[in-house]
Structure 1
Amino acid sequence: MRAGGNTGHIEIMYQTSIKDAGGGQMPGGQALYWATSVRVYTIKNKRDAESYTTNLEEPKEFVMRYRPDKTVQKNMIVKYLNTEYTIQSITNTDDRNRELVLVCLTLK
């Protein structure tokens, strides 16, 4: 993937515990796992969109460079343009470890 072809920037966050005022742990925090450039597509093909969409959401595809030191998981959150997305699928496009495609829905 050429860096010049990327059209956006995302942050991939994971859930973490945060310390409360009493020194205990409270779930619900987020920490940055990976910030990267991506190509962003809105899935418009009706058949493809119907398989992901609920309540007229517009699923997004984020295509990024594969990195062997990063393992993206479905329980992570994608932040793009001040909107949070849940990861629905993660695909290594050609099994040659060049690109990952994340299909995501808006987090409600």
Structure 2
Amino acid sequence: MAVKELNVKEQHYADTREEAESIVEEAKDDVYLTSFKISEKHNKLGTYFLVDLAFSYDTPKEFMESKPAKKPAPVEEPPKGQLEYSVNQDGTVSVNQDEEDEE
């Protein structure tokens, strides 16, 4: 069974609020984006922004329902008719013509 990521979280760094908002706008193009958060942080070098993005690709229910249904085993049809044949000395086979014409 293949491993499939259902939930992905990303964190991006931005120097300005405009950069952070542009990252969010880009992420909004993805239909799987479920949440985003822009956090303003401070340290001795100044202010910066962290952008947290969360994506949910398929819920387990959708993933399980998307599997193809099992096909039932094909029903074998009984042979329609049997032909009389004979094998000659040289290995060739001949079929009785009367039986073949009835079909």
TM-score normalised according to structure 2 size = 0.31
TM-score normalised according to structure 1 size = 0.30
User: Considering only CA atoms, is the larger Rg found in Structure 1 or Structure 2?
Assistant: 2
